Amino acid sequence: MSKAQKTEKINIFWFRRDLRLDDNTALHESLQSEYPVLPVFIFDTEILDKLHNKEDKRVDYIHQAISKMHQELQKHKSGIRVFHGKPMEIFKNLVENYDIEAVFANKDYEPDAIARDKEIAAFLEKNEISFRTCKDQVIFEEHEVVKNDNTPYTVYTPYAKKWKEKLKDISVQSHKTDFKNFLPLKPENMISLETIGFKKTDLDLVEPKLEKEIISDYGKYRNFPGMDHTTHLGVALRFGTISVRKCVQYAVKNNETWLNELIWREFFMQILFHFPQVVKHCFKKKYENIEWRNNEKEFKAWCEGKTGYPIVDAGMKQLNETGFMHNRVRMITASFLTKHLLIDWRWGEAYFAEKLLDYELSSNNGNWQWVAGCGCDASPYFRVFNPEEQVKKFDKDHKYIREWIPEDYNEKPIVEHKEARERALKVYKKAVS
């Protein structure tokens, strides 16, 4: 950055978890204004420093998504200026070097992001720069779908009902990007993964697509992991490489079951917003009394896919090898950890957070608490998945199991189902009664 840039007034658009050029609300807003727009992205050291695995596919995903947009913008004689550091330091620098009218960004609803944005907004305000945020990541924000007395819903079904009623009152519109108002920039290479302390992985970013064959029959086949009949759009929704408005428009026309899943996503987002204590604690307080066994050897066996229960082990292998696990198997593995092994759901949640490509704090936390029985609208604690019965129902030809566990697999079960189930029921009952 050079002082010479101060001569022209500009706007800044700050990419965060909205890594796309099309149908991007705040980007669209910024481009409507009278000043040219400088797009920026910050590899935030406060987030990256916490990642121990330096071959993290998510960092690679973000890097590839930004590179693609940077190349696209270079065709329009602009680009993205990508920084590595603490957002506050980066903004101090930007303010010193540019005459900025406003900073535009899409709203982020996670507790850490809210705190970061508050700090940045205060700093910008001091410098007479406005910080304009837009709704983009969701159809309805935390205060838009609430009970008649304005309190948040904590049960999914009435929340979803109200959500769908409200949807009828609005038109979900997509925004077209006008490439004319980007700030002209000299061609510049983007910062490399190595410079920010990470390595290239085997991940190849594929353009997220709404696939008709998958979504039309979603309700019929989504529960069978061997059929792999879900969209795999979780990561695209997480990093915003697809617009949620496009997904919802498509779901409304093509499949209500799939729409319901998108509503679960917003349900858990608003739970996290209204009850941020769930990050560390059970939504239902009584469940803090559970006397977890927390056996470290058994936890390791679970993580490595060596529990002796083929469906659990197949799921953990899929997760470890690809960063994805089918939803049905996420439920089975999570139930096995919390009920059969009586290991604190927070251990499992943290392991998934490290490995899942589509890791989303609100969904991961909400679903772990759902399985463990301690969440807002949770499965009752006495519902203990029987892994063998789950195989009979959902993978009866062992297609999924065969895909993920080796032929010479002969792990001995680390616990016996009936005994483990009874032990779990006893411990849970003691805690909650």
Ligand X SMILES: Cc1cc2nc3c(=O)[nH]c(=O)nc-3n(C[C@H](O)[C@H](O)[C@H](O)COP(=O)(O)OP(=O)(O)OC[C@H]3O[C@@H](n4cnc5c(N)ncnc54)[C@H](O)[C@@H]3O)c2cc1C
Binding site for ligand X (CB under 6 A): 222, 230-234, 237, 261-262, 264-265, 268, 327, 330-331, 334, 352, 356, 358-360, 363-364, 367-368, 371
Query: What are the residues facing 404 on neighbouring strands?
Result: none
User: Shortest gap between Cβ of 279 and ligand X (angstroms)?
Assistant: 13
User: Shortest gap between Cβ of 350 and ligand X (angstroms)?
Assistant: 11
Instruction: Give, in order, the Cα–Cα distances in Å from 95 to each of 6, 113, 133, 295.
Output: 9, 21, 18, 52
Enter the tokens of residue 298.
Answer: 């058994």
Give me the helices (H) in 203-255, please: 212-216, 218-221, 234-239, 244-254
- Which has the closest alpha carbon to 108: 60, 65, 141, 130? 141
DSSP 57: H
Please list, in sequence order, all residues whose beta carbon lies within 8 angstroms of the beta carbon of residue 189, skipping any fewer than 6 positions away: none
Say if CB 327 and CB 352 are below 8 A apart.
no
User: Shortest gap between Cβ of 260 and ligand X (angstroms)?
Assistant: 9
User: Shortest gap between Cβ of 159 and ligand X (angstroms)?
Assistant: 12
User: Shortest gap between Cβ of 108 and ligand X (angstroms)?
Assistant: 15
Please say which residue, 79 or 315, places its beta carbon nearer to ligand X: 315
User: Shortest gap between Cβ of 77 and ligand X (angstroms)?
Assistant: 35
How many angstroms separate the CA atoms of 428 and 209, rounded? 43
Please say which residue, 56 or 358, places its beta carbon nearer to ligand X: 358
Please say which residue, 322 or 327, places its beta carbon nearer to ligand X: 327
Phi, psi at residue 416, to the nearest 5°? Answer: -95, 130
Please say which residue, 78 or 230, places its beta carbon nearer to ligand X: 230
Between helix 256-274 and helix 361-372 the angle, nearest 10°, is 90
Q: What is the DSSP string of 314-364?
A: HHHHHHHHHS---HHHHHHHHHIIIIIS---HHHHHHHHHHH-TT--HHHH
Please say which residue, 84 or 274, places its beta carbon nearer to ligand X: 274
Please say which residue, 14 or 267, places its beta carbon nearer to ligand X: 267
Secondary structure (3-state) at 431: helix
Please say which residue, 76 or 164, places its beta carbon nearer to ligand X: 164
Please list, in sequence order, all residues whose beta carbon lies within 8 angstroms of the beta carbon of residue 20, skipping any fewer than 6 positions away: 65, 69, 240, 241, 242, 243
Please say which residue, 262 or 405, places its beta carbon nearer to ligand X: 262
How many angstroms separate the CA atoms of 1 and 97, rounded? 6
How many angstroms separate the CA atoms of 206 and 176, rounded? 22
User: Shortest gap between Cβ of 347 and ligand X (angstroms)?
Assistant: 12
User: Shortest gap between Cβ of 176 and ligand X (angstroms)?
Assistant: 24
How many angstroms separate the CA atoms of 335 and 384, rounded? 7
Place of tokens 């899942």: 356
User: Shortest gap between Cβ of 355 and ligand X (angstroms)?
Assistant: 10
Please list, in sequence order, all residues whose beta carbon lies within 8 angstroms of the beta carbon of residue 410, skipping any fewer than 6 positions away: none
Please say which residue, 63 or 229, places its beta carbon nearer to ligand X: 229
Please say which residue, 97 or 322, places its beta carbon nearer to ligand X: 322
User: Shortest gap between Cβ of 320 and ligand X (angstroms)?
Assistant: 15
Amino acid identity, residue 312? V
User: Shortest gap between Cβ of 325 and ligand X (angstroms)?
Assistant: 7
Please say which residue, 102 or 371, places its beta carbon nearer to ligand X: 371
